[in-house]
Amino acid sequence: MTKATKRQLALVNTMVSERDVPEDFVEHMRELYRRGLFTKDLASSFLTMLDKCNDKNSVTADQRGLYKIDNRLVRVAVDRKGKAHVRVMHRNSNGELHYSSNVKIDVRKINDSTKIDLDMAQKFGRKYGVCCVCGRTLTDAHSRAAGIGPKCIDKL
Ligand SMILES: [Zn+2]
Average pLDDT over residues 33-49: 95
Query: Ligand 1: distance of its center to the CA of 48 in Å?
Result: 31
Do 35 and 21 belong to one domain? yes
Q: Determine the pLDDT at residue 142.
A: 94
112 and 127 fall within a common domain: no
Residues 91 and 46 in one domain: no
Whether residue 122 sits in one domain with residue 110: no
pLDDT at 32 over 90: yes
Q: What are phi and psi of 63, to 5 degrees?
A: -95, 5
Do both 144 and 130 map to the same domain? yes
Higher pLDDT, 56 or 53: 53
**Is 1 within the bounds of a domain?**
no
Phi, psi of 148 (to 5 degrees): -160, 150
pTM of the model: 0.69
Residue 21 falls within a domain, yes or no?
Answer: yes
User: For residue 26, is it within any domain?
Assistant: yes
The amino acid present at 12, given as its one-letter code, is: V
Contact assessment for residue 59 and residue 84, using Cβ atoms and an 8 Å cutoff: yes
For residue 135, give Cα distances in angstroms to 72, 87, 98, 147: 13, 10, 5, 12
CB atoms within 10 A of CB 130: 23
Ligand 1 mean position, distance from CA 87 (Å)? 14
Q: Is residue 143 part of a domain?
A: yes
For the stretch 65-104, what's the b/e string if a residue is b when 16 or more beta carbons lie within 10 angstroms of its beta carbon?
A: bbbbbeeebbbbbeeeeeebbbbbbbeeeeeebebbbbbb
Q: Give the total number of structural domains in the chain.
A: 3
12 CA to middle of ligand 1, Å?
A: 34
- Average pLDDT across the chain, whole number: 92
Q: Are residues 70 and 46 in the same domain?
A: no
Give the pLDDT band of residue 57 (cuts 50, 70, 90). Answer: low
Answer whether residue 40 is part of any domain: yes
For residues 74-83, give the mean pLDDT.
90
Do 90 and 76 share a structural domain?
A: yes
- Domain coverage including residue 97: 59-116
98 membership: H or E segment, kind and range: strand 97-100
The rounded distance, in Å, linking the Cα atoms of 18 and 31 is 20
| Residue 68 and residue 102 share a domain | yes
- The 10s digit of each residue's pLDDT in 98-148 is 999 888 888 889 999 999 999 999 999 999 999 999 999 999 999 999 999
Inter-residue contact 103 to 85 (CB < 8 Å): no
Instruction: Provide mean pLDDT across the span 61-69.
Output: 94
Distance between Cα 150 and ligand 1 center (Å): 7
